[in-house]
Structure 1
Amino acid sequence: MRTGEPLPLPAVEQVLATLATGLWHWDTSTSLVRVDAEAARLLGLPAEGTTLSESQVRARLHPVDWNEITGVVQLAVAESTLAEVRIRIMDEQGRIVRVVRSRSKPSFDPHKRAYELIGTLQEVTEPAPGTPADRRTVTGDWRRSREAFLLDAGRALAEARSTAEVLRVAAGLSMPGFSPDGLAVFGVSGDRLTIIGHHGHRPGDEGPFAAMSLDTAYPAADVARTGRAVYLPSPEEYARRYPLTWPLAQQFGRQSWAFLPLTVAGRTIGAWMAAFAYPVAFTPDERSVLTTVARMLAQALSRAGTAESERELTDGLQRSMLPSLGPEIPGMSVAARYIPTGGGLQVGGDWYDLIPLPNGRFALVIGDVQGHDVRAAGLMGQLRIALRAYASEGHRPDAVLSRASRFLHGIADDGADLRFATCLYVEVDPATGVVEAARAGHLDPVIRMPDGTVLLRDTAGGLPLGVDPDCDYPTTRLALEPGEVMMICTDGLMETGGHDLDSGWARIRRILELHDGDLEELADSLVQAVHGPSSHHTTGPLADRREDDIAFLLLCRKGEGCGCGDSPAVHAPVRRTMLTVAQAEPERIAVARRHLRELLHDWASQDQLDSAVLLVSEMLTNVLVHTDADALLVAQVTGEGAGRRLRVEVSDTSDDLPHRRHPGELASSGRGLVLIELLADEWGVAPRGEGKGIWFELCEGDDSVSYDGDGSAGGDPGGAAAGV
């Protein structure tokens, strides 16, 4: 044989057989494995060349090792390296007869979608069981540690919700047997590398590597450009392969480096560097761990980047749709909060608005479009603009909501996804404190008085906007006294945290009663009570725990007890509530009783409270039964301490004055004035230019007279109240 000619295959096999090394060839497209005589012997077969099926070969190998071969082959193809693995050979009884080392150069045919491997088999000597060098124990421990580490790393990276959290998790990973002391994550921006984050380096160390061109002879640039990993087990190897950028890396004093591609959906989005302070050989097992971590890290960074982009987009969308509260209103203070839901894109249909009106007044609007998606946010933006336009034209609250309902019905009815919206529109006169409210299926406003008394103010209303374009929205007039605060909100404030409207209202009511500060502090306290610390617009993990959007507005008429700083002094604190009971709404008598009980929540005498509720029922019922007019109830508490006084007046537009009668024992009516005379400290009838008013007063603590329910003094008035 002439020098320089390749050895013929039989000669190669003879040389390898002399070295106790076998040859094998595996083509996954045919599922056949060809082995020479030495390879067959090592597999426990007769020492002759043969062709085996994959199942025949698999039967000779330990099942765990067969599964590992598949992973190592895929890794070697991805990195264009040799595939090396130790394999335990089994006999027919399932006993291990020897351990062999397989080395091969795999290739992948994308057309056949199959692997082809040509490699060698060589027996390795295993130490005796129980010795410190027992590889079976070491290998088993390594595999168990590796699997546990990868499970923990995958769980931690999957839970990371931002790029910063992903980097913190990556920095804290402790790989089994070889933990890097320096990490860096590179991104790609155009034709440049960027530094997303790093660990184990001083601030400013990343400077020379930032904005590096992808054409630079630097490992991370090569990885980002080609998508193939680079392993540098020694400083000499680094300096040989990358002499131009070696001086940049030399200063950190590391001994080994691994640069791996960050690949998502077949696209390389960057590179991950793991640097070690001691030499690392980067065995197939170690490369497998690093590659798996790089894949999980790429997926986590991609998810975090997408989530951050969505949050930035939707937060900007919501901010652009929500108004500023505008210039300061004389004599008034306003505060508002909006916190989006944590689901989906964090966009929803809740909104608030403050609208200057042409008559010198202003309007507060709060609403909730059905749904928590982009369509809901779009409809919300259109509806808000429409409401602003109708209000700016000078329409009254009922007309504004009627027009808005027709508008929403027209744009939201596409035949497949009909949407509606609840809304509360409040027109406020800052000079007098008069409030006119119209409600479309929304929650009623809440009033907090200067002394902490909190009332839910019932207002007339109609169907949600967009349901019936011809629906009417009656207006309710209220009076905001100096020092009082009005809150209007969406149902998210009440129901978040697993509450229904009743339990949620009880929670919010306690916050309103106990708070002593300005409106901004009160707004923060309300959100704090629901979710913890917040800002005007909250995103991130806090938002993710929400079930619904939250929006609310607080309006204060400056006065003593409101905490607004420059409030004028009001020396005689007054609690007052007003309520109209129409002829067609006798059920509002129950609302009047509830209002009075809330007004007297801290009244010392329960008997007096029951008497007052009974008298209010009697007076309102008399107006509805004996006249054709509506009844107006005004109840107020004046004074401080034990000398407080309750005055209740019910007025109507009828000129017929009440007359005291003397009903018999079996009479079903005629006891109204008798009850007032028995139970009230003072009472009277006040004729007016149009109509009349009947009133009574009670002085707190003077409960010497009560009513039994049978027309006599003494006892519990509850029975009579139930029968009125």
Structure 2
Amino acid sequence: MRTGEPLPAVGEVLATLATGVWHWDTATGLVTADAEAARLLGLPPEETVLTEAQTRARLHPVDWNEITGIVQLAAAEGTLAEVRIRIMDERGRIVRVVRSRSRPSFDPVKKAYELIGTLQEVTEPRPGTPAGRTAVTGDWRRSREAFLLDAGRALAEARSTEEVLRVAGGLSMPGFSPDGLAVFGVTGDRLTIIGHHGQQPGDEDPFTQMALGTDYPAAEVVRTGRAVYLSSPDQYRTRYPLTWPLAARFDRHSWAFLPLTVAGRTMGAWMAGFAYPVAFTPDERSVLTTVARMLAQALTRASAAETQRELTDGLQRSMLPTLGPEIPGMTLAARYIPTGGGLQVGGDWYDMIPLPNQRFALVIGDVQGHDVRAAGLMGQLRIALRAYAAEGHRPDAVLSRASRFLYGLTHTDDAGADGDLRFATCLYIEVDPATGLLETARAGHLDPAIRLADGTVLLRATAGGLPLGIDPDSDYPTTRLALEPGEALMMSTDGLLETGGHDLDSGWQRVRGILETHEGGLEELADALVQAVHGPSSHHTTGPFADRREDDIALLLVCRQCEGGVGLGATAPARTAVRRSVLTIAQAEPERVAEARRQLRELLHDWPSADQVDSAVLLVSEMLTNVLVHTDADALLLAEVTGVGPGGRRIRVEVTDTSDDLPHKRRPGELASSGRGLVLIELLADAWGVAPRGEGKSIWFELYETPGTDDPDALPDAADRTDPAPRPDPADQAEGPDLG
């Protein structure tokens, strides 16, 4: 071109350079390509308009996904978007690699991007060559912006120092990935190793506790706050002759030492070592500097979180008790797992309190909330409960006093002004190790569960009152239970059940399955229960699993005479074949008849005949209702399953009351609403009877196990059954209330 002649058109220049031009408007979803851009996309060399779907079909799917992220980043930063794209043919084969450069803009009204850019074919350098290392390439063709975006996201999500180091070690920098990393910290006037990657265990020993005045690159970086780049072993040897022998054995060719700076303070140094020569161009230094800043921020956040976890875990440990001395005939196990939110402190707790007369109390509870105030109230309430128990009060009196105490703490003027009125649920059980007798009082807490010696698991319904701290005058009635040899009792807070999307019912079914099938000791059972909810844990879990807790969990297990363990594989000599359930129903608690039916069904969960189970439940309802309607006494229900199945077991149900009036059979009319109780017992029971008790009476019935109603030929012969007591003749009974 001669001087003075007009310049050629831009399009002609670009065509001469084999560079195409394209325009993409996400509002319309159309991509316009000139003839050269169309050729590079594998289309006829003529200007064309494509839809986004048509354009996407010409590109490698991984590269298309990266284009979206790079465009968003470039538009936000006001920079150029540059990415390498693999062009595919109709058979899915890569035909060429092109470089796309564009400047995206974002229209907030249309909420769309508009891009005008260029396409130019590039030659892929061979891996391992200098060009291959310095080019912004990789298996996923990640540009510098995309790499930094991914690195920042990954480091921001790291929750611990170990996780930060793992993320840093896995970063694949665009074109010049290091093969070894080390993070140095500072303690006093000494350099310490926070962590390393790419070296063998023990390789860090010579660098540990190195004085900051040592002629070593990391020490200089910490002293000056300026990065050190060493492109070759000669540079390292010349600049740091004293410490070069320490680095020479790693057989690396280039090193970058960068300061880890937060809020203007250098907290350490980051070393990136390379197995090949790196020139450390301005672009490479920019990437390393940005990664070092993100790494410093991530380490600071992780260190603060770990310090907080250590503090709160120490606080929680100081508030939770040990289980104290061994109790003859009893085995105990406990677990506490904090929530993963906030400060990881909460109001859940458990306790074991020695009492006079060789007894002890088991306590478990939950103060409302997951914060420091909840933990503080929990500590005070626990101390108060121990004090009231040590004074010799019965379980109902202990909870009444504790409720009044918590009410006084939470209903102060300050608490009322802040609207911070807290309450607590609690389950208090006084245990007699010699007899296995349990006296329970409950304040709005979950009922305890008992695993019988044969593996049957029952929820033991207990009388209860309001949660502590709501009403200072609340009463807490007591319920007596018995723990037989070989049986285990479970007390827990609702976090054990209501985790992982479960409610109380579905969560109980999950826990019940573990209790029924577990084999081994009580400690193993505690671990199995916690692991089923959250994964592996220790007595007080911290770390990655603790971060995922939805609610605090407190768990307390006690087993009577379980030297051989608890579960199907246990072989304690005191095991018995009796399966027993006891329940008291007061005159003022007719709703507990439904609880009696539920407990009886649980007791007969593996009974083969559904008809016999229904019959037993019906007869229990009749007998309990008769006591509540026709007497002024409370009813005591005792149900026992004895014998060995299949076909050799017997269920005996006995209802006792303090009334001396004996039942008698009636002949009710068709419209009568009562009077059919004894008729039903005669029809459905295999044996039944009435036994005077001196003061009061008991009426009982028995059913003998059959393999099932579908197999009548398999019924046991009458001679093989246990000989029942003779049935009383209703004509000989004294006049009294009718049963039904």
Instruction: Quickly name the TM-score band, shorter chain normalised.
Output: 0.7 to 0.9
Deviations 1:637-678 (A, max 9, x none): 111121211111111112222233332333222222222223
Contact 1:451–1:561 under 8 Å retained in 2: no
The TM-score with structure 2 as length reference comes to: 0.74
Deviations 1:87-125 (A, max 9, x none): x9x9xxx999xxxxxxxxxxxxxxxxxxxxxxxxxxxxx
Partner residue, 1:179: 177
Greater displacement, 586-595 / 436-445: 586-595
SS in 2 for 1:286: helix
Deviations 1:594-616 (A, max 9, x none): 11111111222222222221111
In the TM superposition, 1:224-235 aligns within 5 A as 224-235=222-233
Equivalent position amino acid for 2:670 in 1: E
Pick aligned residue for 1:631 from 631, 635, 658: 635
In the TM superposition, 1:337-352 aligns within 5 A as 337-352=335-350
Partner residue, 2:399: 401
In the TM superposition, 1:241-256 aligns within 5 A as 241-256=239-254
Contact 2:522–2:565 under 8 Å retained in 1: no
Distance 1:625 1:455 in 2: 28
Distance 2:705 2:205 in 1: 77
SS in 2 for 1:371: coil
Greater displacement, 296-305 / 151-160: 151-160
1:458 aligns with 2:461: yes
Query: What value does the CA root-mean-square deviation take over the aligned residues?
Result: 3.1
Partner residue, 1:437: 440
1:359 aligns with 2:357: yes
Q: 1:292 to 1:613 in 2, by over 3 A?
A: same
Q: CA deviation at 1:295?
A: 0.7
Contact 1:171–1:183 under 8 Å retained in 2: yes
Partner residue, 1:76: none
1:509 aligns with 2:512: yes
Contact 1:342–1:544 under 8 Å retained in 2: yes
1:522 aligns with 2:525: yes
1:577 aligns with 2:581: yes
Q: What percentage of aligned pairs have identical amino acids?
A: 79
Partner residue, 2:295: 297
Contact 1:508–1:526 under 8 Å retained in 2: yes
Q: CA deviation at 1:495?
A: 0.9
Partner residue, 1:644: 649
Partner residue, 1:117: none
In the TM superposition, 1:422-501 aligns within 5 A as 422-501=425-504
Q: CA deviation at 1:470?
A: 1.0
Contact 1:311–1:345 under 8 Å retained in 2: yes
Equivalent position amino acid for 2:655 in 1: V
Q: CA deviation at 1:517?
A: 2.5
Contact 1:421–1:465 under 8 Å retained in 2: yes
Partner residue, 1:31: none
Q: CA deviation at 1:211?
A: 2.0
Equivalent position amino acid for 1:588 in 2: R
Partner residue, 2:334: 336
Q: 1:452 to 1:178 in 2, by over 3 A?
A: same
1:689 aligns with 2:687: no
Greater displacement, 678-687 / 478-487: 678-687
Equivalent position amino acid for 1:599 in 2: L
Q: 1:243 to 1:329 in 2, by over 3 A?
A: same
Q: CA deviation at 1:542?
A: 1.6
In the TM superposition, 1:112-191 aligns within 5 A as 145-191=143-189
1:599 aligns with 2:600: no
Q: 1:532 to 1:658 in 2, by over 3 A?
A: same
Q: CA deviation at 1:236?
A: 4.3
Q: 1:700 to 1:139 in 2, by over 3 A?
A: closer
Q: CA deviation at 1:284?
A: 1.3
Partner residue, 2:196: 198
Contact 1:492–1:550 under 8 Å retained in 2: yes
Partner residue, 1:370: 368
Equivalent position amino acid for 1:366 in 2: I
Distance 1:131 1:611 in 2: 85
Distance 1:196 1:636 in 2: 63
Distance 1:546 1:646 in 2: 43
Pick aligned residue for 1:612 from 604, 609, 616: 616
Distance 1:581 1:665 in 2: 31
Structure 1 gap ranges (5+): 1-62, 70-87, 97-127, 706-722
In the TM superposition, 1:1-40 aligns within 5 A as none
Q: CA deviation at 1:405?
A: 0.9
Equivalent position amino acid for 2:539 in 1: H
Pick aligned residue for 2:677 from 654, 672, 677: 672
SS in 1 for 2:557: strand
Q: CA deviation at 1:573?
A: 0.9
Partner residue, 2:658: 653
Deviations 1:281-319 (A, max 9, x none): 222111100101101111111122112212222222222
Q: 1:694 to 1:182 in 2, by over 3 A?
A: closer
Distance 1:308 1:266 in 2: 22
SS in 2 for 1:257: strand
Equivalent position amino acid for 1:406 in 2: R
Q: CA deviation at 1:202?
A: 4.2
Structure 2 gap ranges (5+): 1-73, 81-100, 104-114, 126-130, 716-738
Equivalent position amino acid for 1:266 in 2: G
Q: CA deviation at 1:477?
A: 0.6
How many correspondences in the alignment? 589
Q: CA deviation at 1:453?
A: 1.4
Pick aligned residue for 2:280 from 263, 282, 287: 282
Distance 2:480 2:687 in 1: 29
Deviations 1:183-203 (A, max 9, x none): 221111122211112234444
Partner residue, 2:260: 262
Distance 1:132 1:534 in 2: 50
SS in 1 for 2:335: strand
Distance 2:234 2:465 in 1: 81
Partner residue, 2:42: none
Distance 1:340 1:384 in 2: 17
Structure possessing the higher radius of gyration over alpha carbons: 1
Deviations 1:150-185 (A, max 9, x none): 223223222322222222222222222222233221
Q: 1:519 to 1:207 in 2, by over 3 A?
A: closer
Contact 1:637–1:646 under 8 Å retained in 2: yes
Equivalent position amino acid for 1:669 in 2: S
Greater displacement, 215-224 / 300-309: 215-224
Q: 1:690 to 1:139 in 2, by over 3 A?
A: same
Equivalent position amino acid for 2:344 in 1: Q
Greater displacement, 332-341 / 658-667: 658-667
The TM-score with structure 1 as length reference comes to: 0.76
Distance 1:482 1:68 in 2: 76
SS in 1 for 2:143: helix
Distance 2:404 2:685 in 1: 50
Contact 2:656–2:697 under 8 Å retained in 1: yes
Contact 1:497–1:546 under 8 Å retained in 2: no
In the TM superposition, 1:705-724 aligns within 5 A as none
SS in 2 for 1:529: helix
Equivalent position amino acid for 2:661 in 1: D
Equivalent position amino acid for 1:494 in 2: L
Greater displacement, 331-340 / 496-505: 331-340
Distance 1:196 1:242 in 2: 23
Contact 1:450–1:561 under 8 Å retained in 2: no
Q: 1:243 to 1:483 in 2, by over 3 A?
A: closer
Partner residue, 2:39: none
